[in-house]
Amino acid sequence: MQYLNVYSKQDILSRTRIRKFETKLGERVLAADAASLTSSLEKSPAEYVLVGVPEDIGARANGSQGGASTTWQPFLDCFLNIQSNDFLMGDNILVLGHFDFSEMQRLIETNAHGQDEKQEAYRHAVHTIDEAVEDLVKIITAFGKIPIVIGGGHNNSYPLIKGTAKGLHKAGLIPLAQINCVNLDAHTDFRPAEGRHSGNGFRYAEEDGYLQKYCVVGVHENYLQQNVWLDIINNPFIDLITYEDIFLLEKRSFIQAVAHATSFTEDGYIGLEMDLDCIEGVLSAGMAPTGLTAKHARQYVTLAASDSKIAYLHICEGAATMDDGRHDPMTGNLISYIVSDFIKARE
């Protein structure tokens, strides 16, 4: 499969710090056979398939700076070195590998001139990313497995929704290729369909008929465009709960907000989304001085995973290093906590 780097077991073990009298997750997780990828996925006993999409193209297409491409490797180093124990064994996880779109980005940076031309080229390139991610996710979900996708930009919500809907439909699990989504995010990412980028993945999925119901928790009112707000309140299949309503006006608790979101979407399979820019202090292009805590993020995946028919988990927009030089080595570690929480909640 083009752009996909499939890991061998040796690749995984090379990132695992083996220690006497201990067993790490990297020693227990499964690997796929790159030579017969589809067959390998079908036969694997793993329930979860871990995939990285480390790219900045979608964010740059949205006029943001890069950084989201730097999170996958630090996350993987942390995740593979979690202790394998009764809380999380790791033998039901397949660490598949990651997509590499770096050459595509290099060509744009080299050949496109001026900001407008570069942005248009990035938006065109997002379609290529869409196709690659959709094709893989469709295969994974058609075999009844749950993709755990670490980004990358939030543009990848669209191919995740589309590929998952097609995969579940192919497996005979849903009558129509449509799924629901719950998103923990400071933004709705429901901007107009003006060309693909990280801010309109859910709009494209909804307009193309793959997204049925959508609920966003934690939206910052300062980031909510008036035209998007009007579209949402006039659409009975879309809902949101703002950060201000939860934490300033205290109209409902955070737990109640998550419960509302899962109840709103409970009539179908749910794509579980998390944009790390909603967490205060986490490095990202959309980083804000106020937001949710890491504890809230962990509660969100735990509650949603234990209370819903989850089709996939997508964690995106966090960065280890930004284009402007800001660096936070803890971003990958936080994601490893969230992913392990998700699997534990489902088990």
End-to-end alpha carbon distance in the chain: 31
Give per-residue burial for 302-328: e unless 16+ CB within 10 Å, then b: bbbbeebebbbbbbbbbbbbbeeeeeb
- Report the pLDDT averaged over residues 206-211: 98
Distance CA 219, CA 340 (A): 25
24: left (phi over 0), alpha (psi -120 to 50) or beta: beta
Cβ of 237: how many Cβ atoms within 10 Å? 14
Q: Residue 157: which pLDDT band, with cuts at 50, 70 and 90?
A: very high
| pLDDT given at position 347 | 85
**pTM of this prediction?**
0.97
| pLDDT given at position 81 | 98
Query: Is the sign of the CA dihedral 281, 286, 289, 293 positive or negative?
Result: negative
pLDDT in tens, 76-96: 999 999 999 999 999 999 999
Sorted by where each begins, the domain ranges of the chain are 4-346
| pLDDT given at position 1 | 85
Decide: 286 and 193 in contact? Cβ < 8 Å. no
| pLDDT given at position 258 | 98
Cβ of 274: how many Cβ atoms within 10 Å? 28
Mean of the per-residue pLDDT values for the chain?
97
| pLDDT given at position 288 | 86
- Report the pLDDT averaged over residues 195-206: 97
Strands (E), the chain: 4-6, 48-53, 93-99, 146-151, 179-184, 211-219, 238-242, 270-275, 310-316
| pLDDT given at position 292 | 98
| pLDDT given at position 307 | 82
Question: DSSP letter string over 71-89?
Answer: SHHHHHHHHTTSBPBTTB-
Decide: 164 and 211 in contact? Cβ < 8 Å. no
| pLDDT given at position 130 | 98
pLDDT in tens, 123-149: 999 999 999 999 999 999 999 999 999
Distance CA 73, CA 71 (A): 6
Amino acid in the structure at residue 8 = S
CATH of domain 4-346: 3.40.800.10
pLDDT in tens, 303-337: 999 989 999 999 999 999 999 999 999 999 999 99
Q: What is the CA radius of gyration of the chain?
A: 19
Q: Please determine, for residue 100, whether its predicted confidence score (pLDDT) is greater than 90.
A: yes
Cβ of 10: how many Cβ atoms within 10 Å? 8
| pLDDT given at position 168 | 98
- Report the pLDDT averaged over residues 111-121: 92
Identify the CA nearest to 33 among candidates 8, 15, 14.
8
Percent of the chain residues past pLDDT 90, beyond the cut: 97
pLDDT in tens, 252-287: 999 999 999 999 999 999 999 999 999 999 999 988
Helices then strands, counting H and E runs in the chain, come out as 14, 9
